[in-house]
Amino acid sequence: MAANVKIETLSDITKHNWNLAVHCECGHRSIVDASRMARWYFCHRWDTHVARLHLHLYCLACRKCPATVRFRPSAQQPTAPNRFPNTEEQWARLVKGLRD
């Protein structure tokens, strides 16, 4: 990552085609697909600032919603289970369900 790249939101991460490395307080680490995560956050209209991403996450190891989570951009492939919709039809159903 270049020294002059400023990362403030999920959009900043996705425009560089990076994924998101998430580190929990318990020591568990995982790589999340940042573009799918960004789309999920946008569909729910959640804040995508990196400092607030932890508000809608929980650790798969300790099952806690941590007060703080460390994030960093990563070029590695996602290691986290895919919990996002896989098709455009599924994304459309999600959006429709959120509107109702």
Summarised one tens digit per residue, pLDDT across range 42-95 is 999 999 998 888 889 888 888 887 666 677 888 899 998 888 998 999 999 989
Give a yes or no: residue 2 inside a domain. no
Q: How many domains does the chain have?
A: 1
Q: Which domain holds residue 90?
A: 10-99
* Whether 50 contacts 38, CB under 8 Å: no
2 pLDDT higher than 60: no
- In angstroms and rounded to an integer, the radius of gyration of the C-alpha atoms of the chain is 14
pLDDT at residue 38 in the model: 93
1 pLDDT higher than 60: no
Residues 6+ positions from 61 with CB-CB distance below 8 Å: 24, 26, 27, 28
pLDDT at residue 47 in the model: 94
Give a yes or no: residue 5 inside a domain. no
The span from the first CA to the last CA of the chain, in angstroms, equals: 41
pTM score: 0.82
Binning pLDDT at 50, 70 and 90, where does residue 3 land?
Answer: low
pLDDT at residue 37 in the model: 92
pLDDT at residue 24 in the model: 85
